[in-house]
Structure 1
Amino acid sequence: MSPVTAAYLALAFAIVFEVVGTSFLMKSEQFTRWLPSVLVVVFYLAAFYLLSISLKSIPLGIAYALWAGLGIVLTTLIGAIVFKQSLDPAAVIGIAMIVGGVVVINTFSKTAVA
């Protein structure tokens, strides 16, 4: 596996772990429930560790754009599906714009691969 592929794989897992950690943040009830609170910390630590590994081959701005954009989309989907939170049309449009930005970065930017 090439270093760039490994970096993007680490970034993908970092994003997933951050989204899972954020989901447990909702369940922690402001850190009053100990198990979800511990899981928040564990998943965030794993996410940041994997993000740091990805930065060996992916430029910081690109990695963070992917981290933030995909994290927002996945967290919103979990909010809608798991926590039954609704989205209004403006939220859907905004999320579509975020997805569009991630696609543009990965399709057209020459800085997306170090």
Structure 2
Amino acid sequence: MGWLYLIGAIIFEVFATSMMKMSNGLSQMLPTILMFAGYASSFTLLALALRTVEVSVAYAIWSALGIVLISIIGITYFGESFSYQKVISIILILAGVISLKLCTN
């Protein structure tokens, strides 16, 4: 169940960060409210995940996948710049998370 909580925490974190971008510096009411609700949900689910998933693994996966997904959303949805250096960096982040998970088994 901890892994399902972690997946939910990642989804809410990515949603909240997207809402932060859409809030235009917290000046748009609805995205700002959704941002706070998303972060509250994310941290609640992350805390529940930590009941069964090691904190070093859970936090690394939560933050890394959040970075990867937000980078992809930034490029595809928000029109942020694309570069091969970004792609390589994302691949390295994913490799690090996979390596961390493999060494905890």
CA positional deviation for 1:110:
2.4
TM-score normalised to structure 2 length:
0.95
Residue 42 of structure 1, aligned match among 37, 53, 62: 37
Q: What does 1:1-114 align with in structure 2 at a 5 Å threshold?
A: 6-106=1-101, 108-110=102-104
Structure 1: 5+ residue stretches without partners: 1-5
Separation of aligned partners in 2, 1:90 and 1:54: 32
Identical positions, percent: 35
TM-score by length of 1: 0.88
Alpha-carbon deviations, 1:20-64, whole Å to 9, x = none? 000000000110110000000000000000000000011111111
**Aligned alpha-carbon RMSD (Å):** 1.0
Q: Which runs of 5+ in 2 are unaligned?
A: none
